[in-house]
Amino acid sequence: MIDLDLTLNNMLEGIGAGATPPTLDDPADPDFAQLDEVRLVMAARTRTELLAPLARAFARRYADVTPERLLRDVERPLKKAIGNSYKRGNQGDPEKQIRVEVTATRAGAVVSVTDEGEGFDVAELVSRFQRGEVYWTHHGGGFESFHHSESFVSYSNGGRTFLLAFRAAPHSSELPSADGAAALGLASDEDFMTFVIRDELGKFKKRKALLERCRVFLPTRPIDDRPEIRYTLQYTEPDGSSVKTSSITGRLLEVDTAAAEYHSATQIYRHFRKADGIGVPKPMQVFKQHPRILLYEFNPTRDYAELVSSRTDVGTLADVAADVGDALRRIHAAPFEFSSVEDRDALRARIAAQSEAVARAASGSAFEAGAGRLADFLAERADALEEFTPVAVHGAFGWHCVLDAGKKFYLYRFDACRMSHPALDVGGFLADLRAFEADGSHTAERVRAIREAFVRGYTAGEGGLESIDLPLFVGAGILARVERLLADPSASADARARMQTVLTVYGRAA
C-alpha cells in the first residue's frame, strides 16, 4: 500500500524499533535472524549483489511467515525498488552505489533503498498512477506492485530513497501489545473501523468515495492517558477510476470530552484556516456509534520537544517558537465560546487543590522536598492573584501540543480549552523550556533564542511579559508536569532526574 504521508520515523515506531540496535553488514550473519532487534546495512553497485542475499535473510528471520507473503510484501517490492534505483536512479552507472538499510524487530522490518540519482516527483507519479494514467517510461509495474502489497510504501529524499514497512503479522501486531489492543477496544479493530468510517465519515457517508479498507497503524505515545491512533484509509472514486490512500489521526476520549474538544477545535480550526504560520488540524468527526473517537485530518510525525532534542538548528527552533507565541496570542484575543469558565477564585482553588494532590503523591519519593516547596510557593502566590477577565485558552499547553506534520507545524490537543487566564498557556510553554534547560546538554544560546522568539511572537514584538506573574504560572506548569510524571510508572530515570533538577532550580528562584 502506498502512503506518502508516512515517514521513516513513523515506520520505525510501527515496528517498535529502538534508538541504537546492533548493526551488521552481512545478511548471512546468524545474528540477523536471532537478535530481537537488529540493523543491517548493505551497499552494492548491481541488483544481484542485493536481492538474493536479502531474500534469504528475510526468509531466515521471518520463518513463520509464508513464502507467498514474503514474496508479495517484501521480495517483489524490493526487486522493483532496487531495479528502479539501478536503472533510473543510477542510470546503470557502475560507479554509483545502491545503499540498503534494514531495521528488523520481531514485529516486522523497515527497509530503505537509496540511490545516487537526481530523484523524481513522487507525488506527481503516484497521482497519475491513482488516476489510472500512464506514469511509466518503460514497462511500469512498480507502483502496481506496491499498491497490492500489504506492506506500507513511501519515499523520502526527493524520491531518491524508497521506504518499505513490513509487518510480520499485519492484522495482529500493529498495536504495541495485547494489553494495549484490549485497552483501545473497537478503535483498534480494522473491520469495525472500516464499517464505521464508511458509514459515518463525510465523503464516504455521502458516497463521494468508496472506502475499501482501513488499516490501524500504531498508537502514538499516549499523552495524559489519551491514546492516539493512526488510520490509513484506502479508497476509490465512485467510478473506480483511481485508488487513493490518506492517513488520519484518532483520539480516544471520554464521550463528553470528545464532544467538547470537537466543539473547541472546530472554532479554533476555522479561525486559523487561512492564517500563515502555525496551523490547526481539521477536526473531522466524533462518531455516533463510537463517540470516544475524535478524528483529525492530519498525520503528525513529532512534537516540538522531539524537534528540539533532534538538534535542529537554532534558527528553525526560534522560528517555530515565534509562530507558537503568535498563535497563542491570537487564541487569547479571539471571540471563541468555550462553555467552561474559570475565574480568579476557581483558578486559585484549582492550583491549591493540584498543589495538595502533588505534594501527597510525592510523599516518600525523591520529589517530596522539591514538590512540597513548589506547592507551598504556589498556594501563597495564588492567594495574591489579582482579578482578571477570562479569555479563551488552550488550557493544558506544552511542547507536546505543537506537532510537526511535515509541511508545517500545528497546535493540537484541545480537550482542556476553557475561558481562563492567558498566562496558563504562556507558563506551559516556558515550563517545558525550563525542563529543556535542565537537560544540561543544550547551550544557553539555544535556550535564550527559543525564549526570546516565543516572547516576541506572543507580544507581537511590543515588549516583554512583565505584566504576567510568571513565577506563578511557570510554577503551575512545572507542577502539572510533576503530576504527570508521578502518575507514569514507565517514566525514564533521565526524565525523573531532569524534573528533580527543575524543581531544585525553580525552588531556589521562587
Rounded CA-CA distance 92/75 in Å is 21
Tell me, what's the pLDDT at 141?
A: 54
Q: Is 269 helix (H, G, I), strand (E, B) or coil?
A: helix
Give the residue, 390 or 482, on which the prediction is more confident. Answer: 390
| Furthest-apart CA atoms within the chain: distance in Å | 76
Whether residue 277 sits in one domain with residue 224: yes
For residue 176, pLDDT beyond 70: no
In this prediction, residues 316-341 reach a mean pLDDT of: 94
For 345-358, what is each residue's pLDDT tens digit?
A: 999 999 999 888 88
Closest CA to 226 of 194, 268, 178, 187: 187
* Residue 436, domain member (yes or no): yes
> Model confidence at 375, in pLDDT bands (50, 70, 90)?
confident
Strand ranges of the sheet holding 161-167, from the earlier edge strand across to the other edge: 23-24, 38-44, 98-104, 108-114, 161-167, 152-156
Rounded CA-CA distance 346/382 in Å is 11
Q: What cell numbers appear for 93 in the block? A: 552507472
Query: What's 36's domain CATH number?
Result: 3.30.565.10
* Residue 2, domain member (yes or no): no
Whether residue 286 sits in one domain with residue 338: no
* Residue 340, domain member (yes or no): yes
Closest CA to 253 of 230, 227, 232: 227
Whether residue 215 sits in one domain with residue 146: no
Which 8-state DSSP code applies to residue 104? E
For residue 8, pLDDT beyond 70: yes
Domain count, the chain: 3
Mean of the per-residue pLDDT values of the chain: 85
Report helix angle 493-509 to 470-486, nearest 10.
Answer: 150
Last-in-domain residue among 277, 296, 315: 296
User: E strand or H helix at 82, and its extent?
Assistant: helix 76-84
Rounded CA-CA distance 476/483 in Å is 11
For residue 374, pLDDT beyond 70: yes
Whether residue 140 sits in one domain with residue 125: yes
Tell me, what's the pLDDT at 311?
A: 61
For residue 492, pLDDT beyond 80: no
For residue 407, pLDDT beyond 60: yes
Q: Which residues have CB under 8 Å from 251's CB, separation 6+?
A: 226, 227, 228, 258, 261, 293, 294, 295, 296, 413, 415
Are 318 and 450 a contacting pair, CB within 8 Å? yes
In this prediction, residues 320-342 reach a mean pLDDT of: 95
Whether residue 282 sits in one domain with residue 148: no
Q: Is 128 helix (H, G, I), strand (E, B) or coil?
A: helix
Compute the Cα dihedral for 191, 194, 196, 198 and give only its sign. negative
Whether residue 376 sits in one domain with residue 250: no
Are 417 and 395 a contacting pair, CB within 8 Å? yes
Whether residue 429 sits in one domain with residue 460: yes
Q: Which residues have CB under 8 Å from 283's CB, separation 6+?
A: 261, 262, 265, 266, 269, 294, 295, 296, 297
Closest CA to 108 of 61, 191, 60, 166: 166
In this prediction, residues 22-27 reach a mean pLDDT of: 94
Whether residue 237 sits in one domain with residue 130: no
Q: Which residues have CB under 8 Å from 384's CB, separation 6+?
A: none
For 184-235, what is each residue's pLDDT tens digit?
A: 778 888 888 888 898 888 888 888 888 988 888 765 555 555 678 888 888 8
> What domain range includes position 268?
178-296
User: E strand or H helix at 410, and its extent?
Assistant: strand 409-411
Whether residue 185 sits in one domain with residue 155: no
pLDDT > 70: percent of the chain: 87
- Give me the long-range contacts of 84-87 (CB less than 8 A, separation at least 24): 84/142, 84/162, 85/113, 85/114, 85/115, 85/117, 85/162, 86/46, 86/47, 86/115, 87/138
For residue 425, pLDDT beyond 90: yes
For 37-52, what is each residue's pLDDT tens digit?
A: 999 999 998 888 999 9
> Model confidence at 323, in pLDDT bands (50, 70, 90)?
very high
In degrees and rounded to multiples of 5, residue 125 shows phi and psi of -65, -40
How does DSSP assign 14-64, residue by residue?
A: HTT--S---EES-TT-THHHHSSSEEEEEEESSSHHHHHHHHHHHHHHTTT
- Global confidence as pTM: 0.69
Paired residues of 247 in beta bridges: 232
Expressed in angstroms, the distance from the first to the final Cα of the chain is: 55
Closest CA to 230 of 214, 243, 244: 214
pLDDT > 90: percent of the chain: 38
Which 8-state DSSP code applies to residue 389? -
Are 390 and 419 a contacting pair, CB within 8 Å? yes
For residue 170, pLDDT beyond 70: no
Whether residue 162 sits in one domain with residue 80: yes
Last-in-domain residue among 119, 148, 167: 167
Q: What cell numbers appear for 174 in the block? A: 500493529
How far out from the chain centre does Cα 451 lie?
24
* Residue 361, domain member (yes or no): yes
Rounded CA-CA distance 292/281 in Å is 18
What Å distances lie between residue 158 and 122, 143, 144, CA to CA? 8, 17, 20
Tell me, what's the pLDDT at 252?
A: 87
Paired residues of 391 in beta bridges: 420
Report helix angle 423-438 to 470-486, nearest 10.
Answer: 60
> Model confidence at 291, in pLDDT bands (50, 70, 90)?
low
Cell numbers 481539521: residue: 282
> Model confidence at 292, in pLDDT bands (50, 70, 90)?
confident
Tell me, what's the pLDDT at 430?
A: 95
Tell me, what's the pLDDT at 130?
A: 59
Cell numbers 500512464: residue: 134
Rounded CA-CA distance 376/362 in Å is 13
Rounded CA-CA distance 228/251 in Å is 5
Query: What's 435's domain CATH number?
Result: 3.90.1200.10
User: E strand or H helix at 431, and its extent?
Assistant: helix 423-438
Whether residue 358 sits in one domain with residue 501: yes
Q: What dihedral do alpha carbons 240, 242, 245, 251 form, nearest 10°?
A: -40
Q: Is 60 helix (H, G, I), strand (E, B) or coil?
A: helix
Residue type, 76: R
For residue 181, pLDDT beyond 70: no
For residue 342, pLDDT beyond 50: yes
Last-in-domain residue among 267, 296, 325: 296
For residue 343, pLDDT beyond 70: yes
For 443-474, what is each residue's pLDDT tens digit?
A: 788 899 999 999 999 998 787 788 788 889 99
Q: Which residues have CB under 8 Å from 254's CB, separation 6+?
A: 292
